[in-house]
Amino acid sequence: MENFKKLNGRPKLKEGKRTKFINVRFTEDEYKDVAELEKQLGITKTDLIRMRILSDAKKTVINSKELIHHLDKVGAELGRIGNNINQLAKHANILKLQGRLNPGIISKFNELFGDYIKVQQLLEISLRKIIRAMGI
């Protein structure tokens, strides 16, 4: 018969093995806060505490409910802005057909619309940064 090597489970880590232990005590309220964050963020208490303490730049802790709430507000505001732009464009077209459109109004609209586009581009950049920070 051949000699079979006895397997002892998963191979031992040579690097990156966590061998040190820190014991931490929390008050009841502090523990509830940690447990609530664990539920909201979907990560273990250990990983949450490790990320908070070590401030790992690759893993930013983000309150997803709060983020979604703010993004919802931003989306609603962008919708309102879009409606305003459409109403202004419709009104300008009506005035143009009637021959009453002032060229100064056109230039002012173009200036404001350019500002809006710049703000929208900054918003897109910020959203990309948030997505990268979340690790998606």
Instruction: Look at residues 70, 69, 116 and name the one whose alpha carbon lies nearest to residue 89.
Output: 116
On whether both 95 and 36 belong to a single domain, the answer is no
> How far is Cα 64 from Cα 131, in angstroms, rounded to an integer?
11
On whether both 111 and 75 belong to a single domain, the answer is yes
Render each residue's pLDDT in the chain as its tens digit; 136 residues: 566 666 677 777 777 778 888 888 999 999 999 999 888 888 888 888 887 787 654 555 677 778 888 989 998 998 899 899 889 889 999 999 999 999 988 888 889 899 999 999 999 998 888 877 776 5
Cα end-to-end span (Å), the chain: 52
Planar angle of CA 131, 134, 136, nearest 5 degrees:
65
Residue 17 lies in a domain: no
Alpha helices in 1-136 (DSSP H): 28-41, 45-54, 64-98, 103-134
Whether residue 45 contacts residue 34, with contact meaning beta carbons closer than 8 Å, is answered with yes
pLDDT for res 60: 58
Domain of residue 87, residue span:
64-134
> How far is Cα 126 from Cα 122, in angstroms, rounded to an integer?
6
The domain tally of the chain equals 2
* pTM of the full structure: 0.52
